[in-house]
Structure 1
Amino acid sequence: MSVPLTLLGLLDREPSYGYDLKHDYDAFFGRGKPLSFGQVYATLSRLARDGKVVPGETEPGDGPDRKRYVITEVGRDEVETWLVQPVVPDPNLQALLFTKVVLALMLGRDAAAFLKAQRASHIRRMRELTEIKRNGPLMDALLADHGLFHLEADLRWIGLTAARLDSLAEMVENR
């Protein structure tokens, strides 16, 4: 998740205070990982430094003085470019699982037991996501679907790797 580009996108809707940006980010994108106020203001500071936003005049508020941030044309162009570019698929999607399997084999550990435990962990998470999908609001359900599809792909990989574990072990031993 690109926090700077997401904040720029939120500012492209309308000028906002840092507090409001944090609230909107957390409500729409921060599921399970909200932004800290420090991260919001540090990001806004860098965006201002880079000419992508302009802080408005300091305004009194209920708490500390506040500044309303406005996106610049440079920031708007960056958001527009970012929104139309496809997300590059991660070429190392299974790198961690693969690494753990190969290292287990190299070290004479039980890679099959690891794969079995990983499969059980994925299935537990799938149950949690399925519950969210059934009972949660639309945004949570869509995020749960995304997670479920990734977990399904991992489970297919786990099954395929488990079926080929003997061949992989032989290959690792011969290196």
Structure 2
Amino acid sequence: MGTTDLVLAALVAAPRHGYEIKRIHDEWFPLANPLAYGQVYSALGRLTKDGCVEVAEVRADGGPERTVYALTPRGRERVERWLAEPVAPMSPGAGELVRKTVAALRISADPLPMLLAQRTAYLRRMRELSDQQPTDPLAALSRDHALEHLDADLRWLERAADRLARPDPVPEAGPPPRPDLSPRQNPGLPGSGRTPDALHAKTPEEDQ
């Protein structure tokens, strides 16, 4: 999500200062990393320069002075345009998990321990999210989105294990050496001597 556009969205209802914007963000997205104050004020600086927000007042309220920002007509148009635009699909093969798996195979390393650890981490996180019962329906939307992504990654892990069980899952490449994935030396994942069934097996945590 774009921090700059979220800052603008937080100003639609009323002018606010940076501390209020941060609090609103963290309330809207409880599963996301808390927004840093530096991110808020950096975004406000850019938006002010672009004419999307303006200083409404400087408020003390018995404490340190805080600059209150208001949305300009240009900023409101930007929010409306941002909300109407579809989000670009994730680039295929760009995830860290995919990069690690492919890199391991390219250098004849065994990716199974990492994949098993990743599966355990995903299951643990899914249990944590499933145990949450948000009273706010919008917070539930965020939780459901996170659960669906984790579930998709788990299905990818299982599909990767099945694909790696094939005689030659790595296509011919250029200069980089191709790992030996022949069934004779690698009945399961390269160098492991184990079949992909290990990835489908229950972890100790699942048996509890």
**Normalised by the shorter chain, which TM-score bucket?**
0.7 to 0.9
Percent identical among aligned pairs is 39
Q: Secondary structure at the match of 1:144?
A: helix
The answer to whether the 8 Å contact 2:44/2:53 transfers is yes
1:33-44 → structure 2 map (5 Å cutoff):
33-44=33-44
Which deviates the most, 146-155 or 30-39?
30-39
- Structure 1 length as normaliser, TM-score? 0.86
Deviation at residue 9 of structure 1 after TM alignment: 0.9
Which deviates the most, 87-96 or 75-84?
87-96
Match of 1:137 in 2: 135
Aligned mates of 2:93, 2:140 — CA distance in 1: 23
Q: CA 1:164 to 1:27, structure 2 compared with 1: closer, same or farther past 3 Å? A: same
Aligned mates of 1:128, 1:151 — CA distance in 2: 12
The answer to whether the 8 Å contact 2:122/2:150 transfers is yes
Deviation at residue 33 of structure 1 after TM alignment: 1.7
Aligned mates of 1:80, 1:94 — CA distance in 2: 29
1:168 maps to 2:166 = no
Structure 1: which 5+ runs fail to align?
A: none
Deviation at residue 93 of structure 1 after TM alignment: 5.7
Aligned mates of 2:53, 2:171 — CA distance in 1: 57
Aligned mates of 2:74, 2:84 — CA distance in 1: 16
Aligned mates of 1:26, 1:152 — CA distance in 2: 25
The answer to whether the 8 Å contact 2:53/2:69 transfers is yes
Deviation at residue 136 of structure 1 after TM alignment: 3.0
Q: Secondary structure at the match of 2:55?
A: strand
Q: How many residues align?
A: 172
Match of 2:105 in 1: 105
Q: CA 1:37 to 1:112, structure 2 compared with 1: closer, same or farther past 3 Å? A: closer
Match of 1:117 in 2: 117
1:153 maps to 2:152 = yes
Structure with bigger gyration radius: 2
RMSD: 2.1
Deviation at residue 30 of structure 1 after TM alignment: 5.1
Deviation at residue 94 of structure 1 after TM alignment: 5.7
1:14 maps to 2:20 = no
Question: Could you tell me which amino acid in structure 2 is paired with residue 173 of structure 1?
Answer: P
Aligned mates of 2:112, 2:171 — CA distance in 1: 14
Structure 2: which 5+ runs fail to align?
A: 173-177, 181-208
